[in-house]
Amino acid sequence: MTVQSKLATTLCTCKDFQHPWTDSCVNATAGLLLSATPYCLRVYSMVYVLSLVMRHKIPTLDDLRKTVQGILQSTAFLVTNSYGFIMFNCLLRYLMGHYTVYTAAFLPTFLASLMAIVVERPQRRPLLALYVANVATESLWNMAVARGWAKSIPNGQVLIFGASISTLLYLYRLGLHNTTCKDSLFGILRIFVGKTEEGDAKGKEVKFDDSVPATSTAQRTSRPPVSLSTINGWVQLYSRFIGKLKGKHESCTHKCGCLSYAVMGGLKPLLGGIGIQVALKLVMNFKKVIQNKLDWKQTILNKKTLNLGLFLGSFSFLYKSVSCGLRHSFNRDDPRFAIPAGLIGSLSFFYYPDTTVALYVMWKTLQIVYNLGIKEKKVPEVPGFTILLYAFCTAVLFHSGIMEAKTLRPSYYRFLQAISGQRLNKFNLVPMDAFGLNTFAQTEEVLKAYKLTDRTSLPQCSLASW
């Protein structure tokens, strides 16, 4: 990809670029507002109703009132983000008299996102910021690869997941998840690594200070520690690992033997993961199941159905095995054992190398560590950081979808097409080739691949001038 000067401009008007069906920028903005509202209302109705059902209790009148209020407020947020793009795009074109590579998509979306995110409830803003940061990270990496600034790393998802999950598990073993690092993600971790691996279960505050040596959760025995500076020390380490793995070390808090603890710990997630995969496939093919037209062998009885279960089961088994092995070998417990155990356990991600999962865990880890750093006064708190992160990442996604379509995740491209009222595939992108991003050819290829090439009809609620 050849990128021209950042100072390159195009004199294309906003009418020629994004609303050729109407001469009025006000009509274009109003049309997008009207067309986006029903779709956004459907999306958030499903989200909030599902959230209400997941509580497993009969909702009260107050619950229903809050649910309706949340649906309307979140719908207003997403609609504002949608029509705000057209509004600020037209306004910037009017003020500047031309487009640059920044004002064609990035800057108007950034301004629209700032306006939209303040409409949403404050408690939902971090979740939205993390979601768009996840997708935007992938787009930014794809842009860097397209420009030749970076090269794709085979199984890079495993590296990201391993580094992130090891950090979370270390915090979990320190007990900080009960005090300064409270997050729902630790509840999910507890399912796979168990309560017995939980550090400081009583919730006593633990300072995040590397200068304080890690303490044991059980009294050390009289045997001297192993020295790894000699060959004899490595032999002793190996002997203790093999000889005692079938038993239970004093520092292990689980009730059964270490071997059965690790095996049973891996078996439950294995069966659970397979069950989830089967259930999802049955739900997605519900119509075929009812009509008795489902190809069970191709859809259910295949190797892919095992992937999630193998990942979850292997992760739990490896983490617990290594943790117990280290306790046996070094004759003590140490929160830092979570790091090698987490790294080795993350090798199971080869069974399920999902980029979305890896990036989500990475961003959640960064959020938790950043908040911990603020509480421990190790890093400064940036006012409005969540709002700025959301606006920046959303601007990256709109820029990617409009200017560099091949770098955007397919599901998010279809989402942009939906909230735009089927307008995204009707933009005239030929003038945007002035910026050297090969915009028109990229978009044509993507539209053809996603079967979105129809441009004959007007978009929804076009408010056309003719």
Lowest-pLDDT choice from 98-107, 208-217, 223-232:
208-217
CB 10 within 8 A of CB 99: yes
State the pLDDT at residue 209. 41
Measured distance CA(159)–CA(47) in Å, rounded: 32
Measured distance CA(307)–CA(269) in Å, rounded: 12
Residue 231, class by beta-carbon neighbours within 10 Å (0-12 exposed, 13-18 middle, 19+ buried)? exposed
> 404, 393, 407, 398: which is closest to 436 by C-alpha?
404
Confidence of residue 455 (pLDDT cuts 50, 70, 90): low
CA of residue 219 relative to chain centroid, distance: 40
User: With 70 as the cut, is the pLDDT of residue 5 above it?
Assistant: no
Question: Mean pLDDT, to the nearest integer, of 441-460?
Answer: 85
State the pLDDT at residue 229. 67
Question: Mean pLDDT, to the nearest integer, of 286-295?
Answer: 72
Measured distance CA(66)–CA(69) in Å, rounded: 5
Lowest-pLDDT choice from 52-61, 95-104, 131-140:
52-61
State the pLDDT at residue 218. 39
Confidence of residue 169 (pLDDT cuts 50, 70, 90): very high
Question: Mean pLDDT, to the nearest integer, of 65-83?
Answer: 94
Confidence of residue 278 (pLDDT cuts 50, 70, 90): confident
Question: Mean pLDDT, to the nearest integer, of 434-440?
Answer: 91
Confidence of residue 203 (pLDDT cuts 50, 70, 90): very low
State the pLDDT at residue 201. 44
Share of the chain above pLDDT 90, in %: 52
Secondary structure class of 325 (helix, strand, coil)? helix
Q: What is the pLDDT of residues 337-389, one digit of tens each?
A: 999 999 999 999 999 999 999 999 999 999 999 999 999 889 999 999 999 99
State the pLDDT at residue 43. 93
User: With 60 as the cut, is the pLDDT of residue 4 above it?
Assistant: no
State the pLDDT at residue 206. 37
State the pLDDT at residue 222. 47
Strand locations in 290-412 (E): none
Question: Mean pLDDT, to the nearest integer, of 31-38?
Answer: 93
Q: What is the pLDDT of residues 250-270, one digit of tens each?
A: 788 888 888 888 888 889 899
Q: What is the pLDDT of residues 88-106, one digit of tens each?
A: 999 999 999 999 999 999 9
Question: Mean pLDDT, to the nearest integer, of 392-418?
Answer: 95
State the pLDDT at residue 104. 93
Confidence of residue 213 (pLDDT cuts 50, 70, 90): very low
CA 261 vs CA 196, 342, 343, 410: distances in Å: 10, 17, 19, 42
Q: Write down the pTM of the prediction.
A: 0.83
Which two three-digit tokens encode residue 403?
A: 């200017």
Lowest-pLDDT choice from 25-29, 222-226, 417-421:
222-226
User: With 60 as the cut, is the pLDDT of residue 2 above it?
Assistant: no
Lowest-pLDDT choice from 45-49, 235-239, 329-333:
235-239
Confidence of residue 212 (pLDDT cuts 50, 70, 90): very low
Average per-residue pLDDT for the chain: 85
Angle, helices 156-174/338-345, rounded to nearest 10 degrees: 150
| Range among 84-93, 204-213, 267-276 with highest mean pLDDT value | 84-93
Measured distance CA(213)–CA(416) in Å, rounded: 51
| Range among 52-61, 272-281, 444-453 with highest mean pLDDT value | 444-453
Place of tokens 């796979």: 192
Question: Mean pLDDT, to the nearest integer, of 23-37?
Answer: 93
State the pLDDT at residue 247. 65
Measured distance CA(188)–CA(176) in Å, rounded: 15
Measured distance CA(299)–CA(296) in Å, rounded: 5
> 262, 365, 271: which is closest to 319 by C-alpha?
262
Measured distance CA(261)–CA(249) in Å, rounded: 12
Q: In 217-295, which residue ranges form alpha helices assigned H by DSSP?
A: 231-244, 258-284, 286-290
Confidence of residue 330 (pLDDT cuts 50, 70, 90): confident
Which two three-digit tokens encode residue 35?
A: 């067309």
How many beta carbons lie within 10 A of that of residue 227, not counting itself?
Answer: 11
